[in-house]
Structure 1
Amino acid sequence: MTTNRGLDAEGCIAREGSLDRVAAAFAPVVAAARERIADAFGPERLHSAYLYGSIPRGTAVPGVSDLDLLLALHHEPTAADRADADALQAALDAEFAQVDGVGVLLFGTATLLSELERHDLGWFVACLCTPLLGPDLAAGLPRYRPSSLLARETNGDLALALPGWRDRAAVATTDAELRALTRAVTRRIVRTGFTLVMPRWGSWTSDLTASAEAFAAHYPERAGQMRLAAATARASVTARTPEADRAVLAVLIEDLGPWLAAEYTAVHGEKAPRP
């Protein structure tokens, strides 16, 4: 299976989002986010802000998709910074019915530009984030190719996530808790499955269906489980039941996940430990 999707003319991963791709329904949300980030953090704290996910890719669905933001601060985030980010999330989520949840990631610029994060958070900013405010950190980052190094540093730590997922599944009692966990698990599993085969596939995509099919071409014996994960991740939150979520979580956390973590380590090695 070959494709040049997601690469530029030089074979490097192209930045996938753009403000020009933001659909009209989400334009007021993005405008409000830009204004309120600037007001809340100001130039003394904020270096730059970015959008990522389906909204800047132009694939967001009103009432279903979430708004994903990354803020790069001049310093490492403090408790006060996180409190302001939480307030920003809550205000935007409450005001705009177009989005089903708002998430704000906070990092210091030193972390985002560090050697340790060069092929994880650095790649994320350079390739998956769309500049919204301030100078673009991508100017200080390299070009990236779909390599084994990139695979290892982006998703080579799946095994560390599995115990926490099991704990969350065991104590989840509400539909909202189950849906949030299912959303996180299915997306992470599909993205890990894709990056496992990414160097062999020779390209990049954030599309869940394409990711699952790329994986399936190399691991047909696990194709059904990965397609289940992708289909569940794509589904509207109103299209599932708690029983269905628990069934999917059991398959992914207890069967596909442990196998995928072991195969990933065998193929690409483990992600460099973080402090």
Structure 2
Amino acid sequence: MKIDNPFEPRRPRSYVVLDIESAVTDETGHRRYQAMERYVPSNDDQPSRRGYKRHEDPLTTPRWPFQTIVTAAAMVLVEHPDGNIDVSRFVTLSQPDHDERAVVAGILQVLADAPDGAELVSWAGMLHDVPLLTLGAMRHGLTLPKGWGWLGFGGNDPVRHIDFARTTTGGFKMKPVHMAEILASLDIPAKISVPAFAVARLICAGQWEAVQEACEGDVISTALLLARWRQLHDPRAGADAVEDRILRRIVQLRAGRGYTATLDARRATRFAARLEKAANDAAVLAPWLDQDAA
């Protein structure tokens, strides 16, 4: 049994914030499934099995195993000694420049390059991103990096995977809600570029820059949610300071994206509000300052 040395400095925590966008494009695989089930198309527009509505029938409507990962974004965050967070990497892999194998391999490389003990951060990653990632890795004969083999067992490690769809609902004891609902309640920007329902249409239309912005936007929103969640456990740096540093770095790294003006404006507005509050506090707590200045 390993015994931790209480005098050894604590290693800064690090995080990999991940989001994956996918679409059903594996028609060949779905046809193999239909053949396995001896499916014969009919012209009566009826489901093939009793109890299914037609749009729910997996023989006529491919389900998630036949989705292809088309875009992924990952942000690597590392704690700073002052308790704030630094954005060390922000990686986007997407069609049309990368096929599914290249996207999955790129994600695995980001995980491999992350600091030892890095924690995965997602919204509903256990229900979407991790299953798609591991199935894609199996499909293309890829191997999970050292230290990340636990993803192959569902990714539901509560220590290594901060899945905010789980943590914000008490382990799914509260009714599951959309990420945007949680973020709206916390005044965190969400769906900065496009609403969630539009992403599938953008993928089908091949609007890859818009898909990338949507994927990156979800990663940014999840990172800002992480800043709020961290303050529950770490009082060294306030969530506002952490958010400002994350946004400042993103604006630098993603200059030219459609969402950067919105994020920059948010930084300016929140900074102005803090200045105003500081001035008001000074006027109440130290009114003599104005007299000295005069």
Greater per-residue helix proportion = 1
- TM-score above 0.5, yes or no: no
TM-score with structure 2 setting the length: 0.28
Question: Whose Rg is larger?
Answer: 2
Question: Taking structure 1 as the reference length, what is the TM-score of the superposition?
Answer: 0.29
